[in-house]
Each structure stands twice: as structure tokens, then as C-alpha cells.
Amino acid sequence: MAADQDAKEVKKGSGKLLIIILAVVVLLGAGGAVYYLKFMRAASSGAAVAKKEKPVAYALPTFLVNLADPGGKRFLKVTMNLELSTKEATDECKSKDAQLRDLILTVLSSQESGDIVSPGDKVRLKNQLVKALNRILATGKVEEIYFTDFLIQ
């Protein structure tokens, strides 16, 4: 009888030990998962960002256009730089210079002076130009446009 009681106590003790071991394994697994998600994934996504090409600047000449105001007496003088996604896009811009310039002149000359006065209006104009230019480019894209000179007269 004493042997049966000792065997039951050993089974109880080993059952508790097994539960403790399982709990430790689960906690270690959860800790490892949290570590991976927080630190390792961030490091790997940082490496992917580091591999991305640096944007390339492409300077355009100054544009001088009549605005679409009634009477046609107002004009816009604007100089801008394009931020391109790849170096190859620079070569494409050079080869499509006439198309790009024509498109930019068309978009700029369709504006009225009252529609491009505020900073928000200029952002809208930039977005309009980016969309239009990206329809022409195939090897890269315009990421951003920077106005370096903007004068309405």
C-alpha cells in the first residue's frame, strides 16, 4: 500500500514538473516571437530600405507661360527640379525632353493665376504635374517636384 501511495506522489510530482516545463517552453517561445517581430523584422525591413536607390535630381529650364486668365495678361515664370526614382529615368527624361517640356507648358498654361496662389494650390499643381509626367516615363518615375522659382506677374 505504501508503495502505491509513493507511486501516486511520484506521478503527481512529475505531472507538476511537466506542467512547469511546458509553461517555461511556452513563455520562451512567446518571448522569442516578440523579439523577432520587434527587432529582427525591423532590421530586415531597414535593410530593404537601404537597398532602394537614392532619388536622382533632374533640373529643368525656366518656363515662362501665359496663364489662362480672362484677358490673357498674366504670366507665370517657374523653374523646377524633378526628383526621379532611378538614374535610368534621367536618361529617359533627356531623350523625351521635347515631350516633357510640351506637357509641362500645357499644364502650366491651363492654370489661372487665382488657382495657383496659395501653398495648397502649388501642392495641387505639383501633384498634377507628377501624374502627367509619370504617364510619359517608362523606366522610372517622378517622385517629387521642387519649385525653385515661382513668379506670377
Domain regions of the chain by residue span:
1-52, 56-152
What's the maximum distance between 2 C-alpha atoms anywhere in the chain?
114
Segments in the chain below pLDDT 50? 50
Q: List Cα–Cα distances, 58 to 79, 81, 132, 142, in angstroms.
A: 12, 6, 16, 10
Q: What pLDDT sits at residue 21?
A: 83
Superfamily of domain 56-152: Band 7 domain (3.30.479.30)
pTM over 0.85: no
How many other β-carbons are positioned within 10 Å of the β-carbon of residue 141? 16
Q: What pLDDT sits at residue 83?
A: 97
Q: What pLDDT sits at residue 131?
A: 97
Q: What pLDDT sits at residue 84?
A: 97
87-99 pLDDT tens trace: 999 999 999 999 9
Task: For strands 142-152 and 63-66, give the pairing.
Answer: unpaired
Q: What pLDDT sits at residue 22?
A: 76
